[in-house]
Amino acid sequence: MANNGLILEVKNVTKSYGKKQVLFPTDLSIYKGECVVFCGGNGAGKSTLIKLITGIEKPSSGTIHFHTTKKKWFGYMPDHMNFPKELSPVEVLNYYKTFVDASFADIDAILKKVGLWDVRHQKIGSFSKGMAQRVNLAQALLADCDVYIFDEPTNGLDPYWVIEFKKIIKELTKEWKTVILSSHIMRDVAEISDRIFILFEGQVKESGNLQDIYAKYNTNTLEDVFLKLLEKANIVA
């Protein structure tokens, strides 16, 4: 873990919708230059935590604080984005660049990075799910931020682009950018993580680096760890 400066603090954060509590008291300290992964099944609380960190939703209690001097605190890739089908990737990024002080050169570089340069003028309505997801990735990468947040980023990506996405994450952390991402497909993101937080039922049930977690549960897959945590909670036999 690149413990060279605190970049994000989450203190005693909870979230409820009416009488239903979906996130129980949660504390996180995330540091500059590390990749942190929130893992868990559907409804575990991963996306809720992401939405609270990004400010899309407000916590019921607790505080969230970014330690950054950048004008834009983070780049954000939601799990799904409905871009207008009549627009092209270039047109979408031209729109976003007005909010993040990006240049036309930045747009060109990002389109090449996500493999959309050759189709930059095609309408997004003709794109596959994976190609549209890469437009989503591109808009998140366009801003020069200290933190990048990705919610289920590998959804719709084919195996080649899952590998390329991992390379992009490694490049970001080498530049001392912090990456926070969520995924229910644990094998897709485990190997690029510095720390992992495993959630279910709105609670962080385990956290740490991959090697320590594997050693603790005497296994070599996160799926096994997750099953053992479920067994411990008497959720499965």
Q: What is the pLDDT of residues 75-91, one digit of tens each?
A: 999 998 999 999 999 99
3-32 mean pLDDT = 93
Q: Output the pLDDT for position 85.
A: 96
pLDDT of 16 strictly over 70 = yes
Phi and psi (nearest 5°) for 152? 50, 55
Number of CB atoms found within 10 A of residue 62's CB: 16
- What average pLDDT is seen over the chain? 92
Read off the pLDDT of residues 211-224 as tens digits, 9 standing for 90 and up: 999 999 999 888 88
As given in the structure block, the two tokens for residue 57 are: 């939703």
**Amino acid 71: pLDDT:** 81
Which residue is associated with the tokens 């899309």?
56
**For the whole model, what pTM was predicted?**
0.92
Residue 235 pLDDT greater than 80, yes or no = no
Torsion sign, CA atoms 125, 130, 136, 139: negative
Domains of the chain and CATH, by start: 1-68+146-237 (3.40.50.300), 80-144 (no CATH)
CA atoms within 13 A on the CB side of 227: 8
Q: What is residue 41's predicted lDDT score, i.e. its pLDDT? A: 81
If you write DSSP's letter for every residue of 11-61 in order, what string do you get?
A: EEEEEEETTEEEEEEEEEEEETT-EEEEE--TTSSHHHHHHHHHTSS--SE
Tens of pLDDT, residue by residue over 145-198, are 999 999 999 989 999 999 999 999 999 999 999 999 998 777 777 788 999 999
Residues 119-137 have pLDDT tens digits of 999 999 999 999 999 999 9
